[in-house]
Amino acid sequence: MGRATRGRDRTEEGASARRLIRGRFEGRRDGDGWVIPEGQDAAEDLHITQGRLGRALPGDSVEAEIAFRTRRGRLEGTVVRVLARSGKRVVGQFTAERTVAVWDEQWAREIVVPSGSSGNARPGDLVEVRVRPPAAPGRPLLGTVQSLFGGSEDPRAELRAVLARFDIREEFPPEALAQADSVPRSVGAGDLAGRQDLRGRPILTMDPADARDHDDAIEAARLPGGGYRIGVHIADVSHHVPPGSPLDREAERRGISVYFPERAVPMLPRALSSGICSLVPGEDRLTRSVTLSIAPDGRLREARCYRSVIRSAARLTYEEGARLLAGADRGVIPEAVRVMGRAAAVLSGARRDRGAVDLDLPEPAVTTDPNGNLLDARYAERNDAHRLVEEFMLLANQAVAERLRTAGAPALHRIHAAPDEVRIGRFEDLLTAFGERLRSPSEPLRPAHCARLLARIESRPEAPFLRRRLLRAMRKAEYSPRGEGHFALALPDYTHFTSPIRRYPDLVVHRALAAALREDPAADPEAASGPASETLAELAAASSAAERRAEAAERTLVKRRIARMLAGRLGEVFAAHIAEIGRFGLEITLDEIPARGAVPLSLLDAGFRFDRRDYALRHRATGRRYRIGGALEAQLVRVDRLRGDLEFAP
């Protein structure tokens, strides 16, 4: 079902391609949805209209039949049967009509709560409800309130509801806390055996101003004859968290730390994440180090991995680091930072030369009081210090992946598969409306094609839109027990090594590296702790799911907090740019506040129609156009407090 099939008659497609696929059903607020196929046999999503859902609910595993392909290329199908219920409870707002209006945009229908099943919830309360599968297609959904979080206007209740919705547990089991409390608060003389002593070197940390943990420290020095020696030193969490221990089991279950504006839900108790494993200045800390020698053109010449002890010379914020990079301050730390900056510039050039794709999108930066009330919301700025740290971490992760592959050590890899040809084909069709193309028709897609496109369109007003669409055409990066390459980074192998405080896969990689480096197992008691290869596939899937869950939880809370703030600014006019255009109208992004909203077609002058040829809304009588990337002023006319959606009028 490649690009050549699109535009065929729907009857022909239905006759030639009828088959069953299995996948996960994802709903939409208008009542229809998609089946996301499992496995590699059917990479294309299948659209399901409301009348073809059967008894499927969001998250269910289903079997669906492909019915036909529309003239615009979309596959349509019918749910044949539900294979497994998700069993997931949903979160929403209890209403005066004894229904629950679900937060999740996948749920189009309210849930009816029978008498005696409300758990004392009052109208306006945020609740968690267990849904009973419908007795027949189209029948009302019934549910029972399981948890009561508090009023919807209380930010603390909102956070509790988000934690429940994404199955994020705050409290640590008593046995994990007891183990954390037993960990020494400082490094002892007995901990230094077999470690290289790096104390006294100009090693420092560089993090956001509000960073809650510091698990990576860096240094750099100029090499005789050109090139640089770069040191990346990562907190040796594996020294304090033995495999199979209560702390390890809980870290594996959590998978990742989750960061909300008012507080974090850490993967490890704070005695470790903010204590003995945090590379605070002036304190001895156990680390796993990678020393990397790079050529003047940025190529990696040599990498050495070993255990070490450091004493960070300084803790810098990104803002402080950027100021030192741009200034002429004298002293050991300013000079060290400028050497790092020159090394990072070389690495950045090498990354561009190999065709790596930079698809980062602007991220929100929000500030709240301790109770979660929003104080400020803006777009986060990426400065030169941020990019410096990123280049060093990328290189360390690359070097560790190569070391593990050479040793044949079982480990978790970070993979990013090449885009599916159907999705990338649709993106290429879209590019024609903007006078661009991604590659020649006969060429296989390479990362450099994407990188060159992004460089060409960088100054165009449509650049943010096309960047998002390219990202949407890409597969998601994930964890795997096999090193299958990273498309966006244009690397044959890659892993995550640099954040073991907040990502469980990094802790697994640390143990795999210990196993790969053993020369005398008796001298390295951690060397026997490599991960069991038979569990890596399950661990990779669980870690990928935990990452997606954390990202969704963080996004959901920030979106709701911004909507809460803007609800008090109805009627105000905001500067914005057009981010999306379609038959629905416009989708815009505000220039000063990290928020998106819709301008429905009904709020525009009558006569506007969507013109697919140049991806614009065009007025039939006046010829006036709205185009992607165009600036406009928009008045906020509605805020959906339930889901955080915003509606504007031009």
pLDDT, position 533: 60
Angle (CA) 116-121-122 rounded to 5° is 120
pLDDT, position 70: 86
pLDDT, position 643: 85
Burial of 115 (0-12, 13-18, 19+ CB in 10 A): exposed
pLDDT, position 459: 93
pLDDT, position 229: 98
Alpha-carbon distances of 70 from 18, 392, 398, rounded to whole Å = 14, 48, 43
pLDDT, position 613: 83
State the pTM of this model: 0.89
- The answer to whether the CB of 450 falls within 8 A of the CB of 467 is no
Segments of the chain scoring below 70 in pLDDT: 1-18, 39-43, 519-534
Residue carrying the six token digits 């037993």: 182
pLDDT, position 91: 95
pLDDT, position 15: 37
Rounded Cα gap, residues 486 and 489, in angstroms = 6
pLDDT, position 519: 39
- The answer to whether the CB of 107 falls within 8 A of the CB of 141 is no
Chain centroid, CA 376 distance in Å: 22
Burial of 458 (0-12, 13-18, 19+ CB in 10 A): exposed
Residue carrying the six token digits 């709701």: 560
Angle (CA) 192-193-196 rounded to 5° is 70
**SS3 letters across 30-97:** CCCEEEEECCCCCCCCEEECHHHCCCCCCCCEEEEEEEEECCCCCEEEEEEEEEECCCCCEEEEECCC
Rounded Cα gap, residues 628 and 617, in angstroms = 9
Rounded Cα gap, residues 299 and 346, in angstroms = 9
pLDDT, position 6: 32
Q: Which two tokens stand for residue 267?
A: 């993967």
Q: What is the dihedral of CA 543, 549, 553, 559, to 10 degrees?
A: 120
Total residue length of the chain: 650
DSSP strands (E only) in 458-501:
478-480
Residue carrying the six token digits 């193309």: 437
Q: What is the DSSP letter of 299?
A: -
